[in-house]
Structure 1
Amino acid sequence: MNKTERLLAIVMELQRRKLLTADELAEVLGVSVRTIYRDMQVLSEAGVPIIGETGLGYSLMEGYFLPPISFTVEEAVSLLLGTEFTENRFDPTFRKSARSSRRKIEAILSRPIREETNRIQRGIRLIQKDEMVIMTRERVNLGIIREAMLEGKKLRFTYHKRVAEADENRVTVRTVSPFGLAHDEQNGWLLVASCDLREDIRHFRVSRISDLTVIDDTFQIPDNFNLQSYRPKDTRSIRVCALFNPEVTDKVEEANNYYMESAESKEDGYHVTFRVRQPEELLSWILGWGADVIVTEPESFKNRVREEIEKMKERY
């Protein structure tokens, strides 16, 4: 990054984050604090209205904006793919905003950049799950959840959870304080919320929520809670080991099972260790590999797999 690019980057960071210290700017841009001090002097002499507050940092005078920014092809593709994801996976309000953002981005691109961006986009596809199966309920629920989060109000809903060890669907009514939304590739959208029933933070698949309503009870997110740094408690304490046929090693790796903890290729096959809450959480997945897998431990789960195979034989 040359000096001109760095000066532009400083102004953009101040526009984006409002207030930054010299140390923070130095870390973002990968330069020394002394360099930031010199750059601030250059910007001030060039007429950029930078305000330096002792002990707080630097900010831009209210109302100052950079003129329209040009994008590289890679930057434009990244932004447009982001709007496509938002349009496919968010509620109607954000879908509309995503379309509007896409049009604005395309409008400011120069013709050569726009043509090259379109060419690259044609070679990239975001594959979505079936529209009717996943999207409809998620989209409706996402809008209601966002409304509750903005207004600081609690939610009440019916939650449908598959209980593997009991081989049944458990239905409960929950009242929660919505702290945030997270997107997981395997589970889709997850609601992170403080559950009144469990008196703790819980995660709920948005696609499993029905009868969702915003109630009048209000809440406040604790000061010590940060969604970006939050990590759920790991309650998986049972270890399951399995030996896969070497010929399916690549397929097992690609499956990337959520419960997989470690894996190693040896002469006799592909050794995989899982960590679960209940072994039954793996039952259907293990059975799906047929004769290409053998459960090696625990013995109780090996017996459970045998029992299921016997039931299958009776049905055939």
Structure 2
Amino acid sequence: MNKTERLLAIVMELQRSKLLTADELAEVLGVSIRTIYRDMQALSEAGVPIVGETGLGYSLMEGFFLPPISFTVQEAVSLLLGAEFVEKRFDPTYRKSAHSSRRKIEAILSRPIREETNRIQGSISLIQKDEMAVMMREKVNLGSIREAMLKGKKLRFTYHKRVAGTDGNRVNVRTVSPFGLAHDEQNGWLLVAFCDLREDIRHFRVSRISDLTVTEDTFQIPDNFNLQSYRPKDTRSIRVCAIFNSEISDKVEEANNYYMETAESKEDGYHVTFRVRQPEELLSWILGWGADVIVTEPESFKNRIREEIEKMKNRY
């Protein structure tokens, strides 16, 4: 990285972060602190409004903004795909903003870059399963959840939870303090919140929430909570073992079941171990493989599968 590139990188880092020390900038750019001091002097002489606060670090004067810069094809595609994802999976407010952002990005791309970006985008598709249902069950709630998080207000809603091993749902009303939103490929949007009923942090699928309201009760996120580093408690304690036909081992692997823990090819088949809260969580998935799988343990789950097969036979 030459000096010009380094000076530009410093301005971009300061534009992204409100305050950075010389040590932090030196570490990010891989140079000495003395070099950072010289670069700061050069930027100031060039008219860039750098503000140095003794003991705190450097920042850009309020209102300064670096003019748009050119993107590579890969950078442009990444940004546009990200905007498309937000358009498809967020609430109307963010969907509108994402659409506007995408149009602005496209507007500043040079013609060759824009044409190449359009060509690559045309070969990539973000497939949505049951998009209309997702819109009805998730998008309608996301705006209210964001509002509650921004205002520090609690949420009250009816939660529909599937009960393993039955044909019905368990429905109850929850009052929660919304700590954040997370997106899971299998479960969609998840609300991470402190549940007053359980007196602990719980996860709620946004698609299973109805009658959502923002209450007047306030809350504060604990100082020691960080959504990015938070990991939920793993309560899966039951082990389920199954042997699949070796010929479909690649399909089983591609299915990437959430509960799959280990998998190994042996002479008699593809041995897979699952870890679940209740074996019934795997019932429909296991039955979907038909005669190409046999459950070896626990015995109680083997009996449960036999019962389900008998029910199926009687229906036919």
Q: Same fold (TM over 0.5)?
A: yes
Name the structure 1 match of 2:141.
Answer: 141
Determine helix, strand or coil for the equivalent of 1:155: strand
Deviation at 1:257, TM superposition (A): 0.5
How has the CA–CA distance of structure 1 residues 42 and 269 changed in structure 2, closer, same or farther, with 3 Å as cutoff?
A: farther
How has the CA–CA distance of structure 1 residues 294 and 28 changed in structure 2, closer, same or farther, with 3 Å as cutoff?
A: farther
Name the structure 2 match of 1:24.
Answer: 24
- List alignment gaps of at least 5 residues for structure 1: none
Name the structure 1 match of 2:56.
Answer: 56
Determine helix, strand or coil for the equivalent of 2:302: helix
Deviation at 1:165, TM superposition (A): 3.8
Deviation at 1:73, TM superposition (A): 1.2
Determine helix, strand or coil for the equivalent of 1:105: helix
How has the CA–CA distance of structure 1 residues 297 and 11 changed in structure 2, closer, same or farther, with 3 Å as cutoff?
A: same
- Give the whole-Å Cα distance in 1 for the aligned partners of 2:120 and 2:239: 45
Determine helix, strand or coil for the equivalent of 1:284: helix
Greater Cα shift, 30-39 or 252-261: 30-39
Deviation at 1:77, TM superposition (A): 1.0
- Give the whole-Å Cα distance in 1 for the aligned partners of 2:255 and 2:31: 42
- Give the whole-Å Cα distance in 1 for the aligned partners of 2:73 and 2:123: 14
- Give the whole-Å Cα distance in 1 for the aligned partners of 2:181 and 2:79: 21
- Give the whole-Å Cα distance in 2 for the aligned partners of 1:30 and 1:272: 46
Determine helix, strand or coil for the equivalent of 1:202: strand
- Give the whole-Å Cα distance in 2 for the aligned partners of 1:221 and 1:310: 51
Map of 1:106-125 to 2, 5 A cutoff? Answer: 106-125=106-125
How has the CA–CA distance of structure 1 residues 143 and 290 changed in structure 2, closer, same or farther, with 3 Å as cutoff?
A: same
Map of 1:237-256 to 2, 5 A cutoff? Answer: 237-256=237-256
Supply the AA of the counterpart residue of 1:181: L
- Give the whole-Å Cα distance in 2 for the aligned partners of 1:182 and 1:272: 28
Name the structure 2 match of 1:308.
Answer: 308
Name the structure 1 match of 2:47.
Answer: 47
Deviation at 1:32, TM superposition (A): 4.5
Determine helix, strand or coil for the equivalent of 1:123: coil
Matched, 1:207 2:207: yes
- Give the whole-Å Cα distance in 1 for the aligned partners of 2:35 and 2:276: 51
Supply the AA of the counterpart residue of 2:136: T
Deviation at 1:6, TM superposition (A): 2.5
Supply the AA of the counterpart residue of 2:277: R
Deviation at 1:295, TM superposition (A): 1.0
- Give the whole-Å Cα distance in 2 for the aligned partners of 1:60 and 1:94: 28
Supply the AA of the counterpart residue of 2:298: P
Deviation at 1:229, TM superposition (A): 1.0
Deviation at 1:118, TM superposition (A): 1.1
1:272-294 CA deviation, whole Å, 9 max, x = no partner?
A: 11111111111111111111111
Matched, 1:72 2:72: yes
Give TM-score, length-normalised by structure 2: 0.95
Deviation at 1:305, TM superposition (A): 1.4
How has the CA–CA distance of structure 1 residues 10 and 315 changed in structure 2, closer, same or farther, with 3 Å as cutoff?
A: same
Give TM-score, length-normalised by structure 1: 0.95
Map of 1:49-198 to 2, 5 A cutoff? Answer: 49-198=49-198
- List alignment gaps of at least 5 residues for structure 2: none
